[in-house]
Structure 1
Amino acid sequence: MECVRRKASDLHLTVGRPPTLRIDGKLYPIEGEPVLTPEMTEKFKDIAAQHAKHLRAQINDGGGGDFGLDFGEHGRFRVAIYKQKGFFGLALRLIPKHIMSFEEIGFLPHLIPKIKALLDRPHGLILVTGPTGSGKSTTQACFIDYILNSPRHVLTIEDPIEFIHDHKAGIITQREVGVDVSSFREAIMKGLRSNPNVILVGEIRDLATAEATVWAAESGHLVIGTLHTTNATETVTRFIDIFPPEIRDQIRIQFSISLLAVFSQRLLLRAEGKGRIACFEIMMATPAVRNLIREKKIEHLPSAIQTASAEGSITFDAYLAELYKMGKITYETAMQNAFDPKALRELIEYGGRRHRS
């Protein structure tokens, strides 16, 4: 299939345009393919929806749905069917069989031991954040793959299931919302009966899921969750604001105790012009960070990240500088993605020596 052969991340099927691939973040129509008609996309919808019988009513009457579609040895697709202007469209995200290592994702060598130590913790909350298509699922899959090297039971709750994991030294239980269980909250609460050590929550999207996530982290489980936020400050604010105002002070205390780290990421074009690499802001939950969260001084978190590099924290711009120094991205890419281009220029020209692994 063209999508797999050209290492595209997505395939778009929409009326009025040929089938279109997303490669390294850019859209490319497939040459020689016809412009899609409403009849064509309806047929594609019917073929894909055969694998999602539980969503047929939602797709046909509710305007769309998301589900996983197995593609044999090549991997899986996360399929989103939607309606626009009365016609069906499809967006298929390729989920490769290969689970990337820390190095392949783009984690800096000196940070990898600290991240592994974090994943070895018996309980607490780790949040992986970023916009849609920023590589969150790939990062989470890497984390779970590492955890499964140890004799621990991992429960994943996803909508839909994306990466398929092997048991390895541990046990993996993967539950899909809408297929195996009715909601994220139910999956977390009832899943505790299956005696997991680690719980992956595919998306913290509502109050019920957020409550269950905090409770699971407090009750002796390592919980890895996802939010669609762009940095640590926004993540902390968004998580706490999910809760009603009257209980936010209590949640703020619970959250500050449970939190282990926030990984906020984006994907950047590699220096060679092909393929992408992840760039992170990492906030480890140091005592200073916990105090700032408790005392509602969220605006000071960026400074706390800057001063905790020894613990594994790093700002997004500092990460950009490291990727540039390592030859992983170009100077132009670094500048285009910087939060503060002037500060990044100083980091590159004057700031610090390169870390060694």
Structure 2
Amino acid sequence: MDISPFFKLMVDKNASDLFFSAGARPTLKIEGQATPIGQVPLKPQQVAEIATSLMNDKQRKEFESELELNIAISLPEVGRFRVNVFRQRGEIAIVIRYIKGNIPTIESLNLPKVLKQVIMELRGLVLVVGATGSGKSTTLSSMIDYRNERHQGHILTIEDPIEYLYQHKKSIVDQREVGIDTWSFENALKNAMREAPDVILIGEIRDQNTMKHAITYAQTGHLCLSTLHANNANQTMERILSFFAAEAKPQVLQDLALNLRAIISLRLVPGIKNKRVPAVEVLLNSPYIADLIEKGKIDEIKDVMARSREYGMQTFDQALFDLYEAHEITQENAVLFADSKNNVALQIRLSNHQDLSENPDFTLNQDD
């Protein structure tokens, strides 16, 4: 089965993802909405043949051994794609993500301007967090290329697989792909500091060992960037702590208080113009925030962020209200994606001078 037309269709439709799964029609995801292609569901053998056609011999052996495979594919005059092959209910399934060739700018992504300051830091730890498909990799790529265009130095990335391809501009950018340029994340992490980087990008922090390396890089004078799967800054802190035993957590909190520079949290929200827009929470590590982190008072961080907008911080609720005020998203979606649905609903009503007894379909509920 020739799937090159599917790749071309992804590009033409600006689809983020393409799904092949036995018993289902091939499906594109466009602006967060699943769109089936054709009328005939795929047979298990067809999906298996597609998967095999995407792999070389080494990758086939790896998939047979691990039952999981992550690879990147470049098609001349079409584009670049990230492929995940896995098994479900005993059958092979495939998810393909379209990686746009041009690295977007911070402005074109409608990201907060403070990210330009964050990426120019000389040292420290910067985490970009959010759900799968929330734009973490794209946000990081825009930040890295901003620095690449303005600051001389050495940027080293460790990725599985490489997504965006950087050009050498003012900085030298070396990109290492697990399985091609290094045998494992562990080997690449161990050798990273010997490669004299100023900036180190770790594709994703998934375990205690990777988290330790990230903190160490920040402690030793590097700017370390990475991603985590978390919903917001508070959950990010809790996720980091979950990697460590109870007796190690006080030291981890102290290390984070000293070395964390920012946590940037992302949510893509359906926009009024049928295009998703980013809602961005920004935590910057001020002396007060650092004191809260060291004392483990994670629950108090959000209130400090909300009161620190003049420094570039903002909560999700503030970001969503701003998007609503700018007529980028609907009232319903501003509330739906909020951390505190009550607070955002009330703020919108007050801004609209609505009487709280009006609009019975838009009532305040208990926060999640």
* TM-score bucket (shorter structure): over 0.9
* Matched ranges for 1:284-295 at <5 A: 284-295=284-295
Provide, for residues 162-220 of structure 1, a one-character-per-residue CA deviation record: whole Å limited to 9, x for no partner.
11111111110000122212333431331211211101110111121111111001101
What is residue 302 of structure 2 aligned with on the other side?
302
What is residue 77 of structure 1 aligned with on the other side?
81
Provide, for residues 59-92 of structure 1, a one-character-per-residue CA deviation record: whole Å limited to 9, x for no partner.
1243221111112243311101111222211100
Cα displacement (A) at 1:332: 2.3
Look up the equivalent residue of 1:42 and give its one-letter code.
A
What is residue 186 of structure 1 aligned with on the other side?
187
- Secondary structure at 1:105 match in 2: coil
Cα displacement (A) at 1:244: 2.6
What is residue 358 of structure 2 aligned with on the other side?
none
What is residue 55 of structure 2 aligned with on the other side?
49
Cα displacement (A) at 1:350: 4.5
Provide, for residues 124-163 of structure 1, a one-character-per-residue CA deviation record: whole Å limited to 9, x for no partner.
0000001111110110111111110121211011111111
* Matched ranges for 1:160-199 at <5 A: 160-199=161-200
Compared with structure 1, are the counterparts of its residues 125 and 73 closer, same or farther at alpha carbon in structure 2 (3 Å cutoff)?
farther
What is residue 46 of structure 2 aligned with on the other side?
40
Cα displacement (A) at 1:314: 0.3
Look up the equivalent residue of 1:46 and give its one-letter code.
T
Aligned-partner Cα distance in 2 for 1:311–1:163: 30
- Secondary structure at 1:125 match in 2: strand
Aligned-partner Cα distance in 2 for 1:336–1:246: 38
Aligned-partner Cα distance in 1 for 2:250–2:58: 40
Aligned-partner Cα distance in 1 for 2:342–2:89: 44
Compared with structure 1, are the counterparts of its residues 2 and 115 closer, same or farther at alpha carbon in structure 2 (3 Å cutoff)?
same
What is residue 312 of structure 2 aligned with on the other side?
312
Aligned-partner Cα distance in 1 for 2:83–2:197: 29
Give 4+ residue runs of structure 1 displaced > 4 Å after superposition.
none
What is residue 96 of structure 1 aligned with on the other side?
100
Q: Does 1:204 align with 2:205?
A: yes
Aligned-partner Cα distance in 2 for 1:146–1:54: 36
What is residue 59 of structure 1 aligned with on the other side?
63
**Does the CA contact (< 8 Å) of 1:154 and 1:198 recur in 2?**
yes
Aligned-partner Cα distance in 1 for 2:210–2:187: 9
* Matched ranges for 1:1-357 at <5 A: 1-31=8-38, 34-50=40-56, 53-107=57-111, 111-112=112-113, 114-149=114-149, 150-273=151-274, 275-350=275-350
Compared with structure 1, are the counterparts of its residues 311 and 184 closer, same or farther at alpha carbon in structure 2 (3 Å cutoff)?
farther
What is residue 365 of structure 2 aligned with on the other side?
none
Compared with structure 1, are the counterparts of its residues 294 and 276 closer, same or farther at alpha carbon in structure 2 (3 Å cutoff)?
same
**Does the CA contact (< 8 Å) of 1:3 and 1:9 recur in 2?**
yes
Look up the equivalent residue of 2:147 and give its one-letter code.
I
- Secondary structure at 2:95 match in 1: strand
Aligned-partner Cα distance in 2 for 1:161–1:336: 33
- Secondary structure at 2:107 match in 1: helix
Cα displacement (A) at 1:337: 1.2
**Does the CA contact (< 8 Å) of 1:185 and 1:212 recur in 2?**
no
Compared with structure 1, are the counterparts of its residues 170 and 56 closer, same or farther at alpha carbon in structure 2 (3 Å cutoff)?
same
Give the TM-score normalised by the residue count of structure 1.
Answer: 0.92
**Does the CA contact (< 8 Å) of 1:77 and 1:93 recur in 2?**
yes
**Does the CA contact (< 8 Å) of 1:217 and 1:223 recur in 2?**
yes
Cα displacement (A) at 1:98: 1.7
Aligned-partner Cα distance in 1 for 2:326–2:78: 31
Aligned-partner Cα distance in 2 for 1:154–1:89: 35
**Does the CA contact (< 8 Å) of 2:52 and 2:60 recur in 1?**
no
Give the TM-score normalised by the residue count of structure 2.
Answer: 0.89
Say how many residue pairs are matched. 344
Q: Percent identity?
A: 34
- Secondary structure at 1:103 match in 2: coil
Aligned-partner Cα distance in 2 for 1:54–1:254: 40
Aligned-partner Cα distance in 1 for 2:184–2:25: 36
Aligned-partner Cα distance in 2 for 1:161–1:315: 31
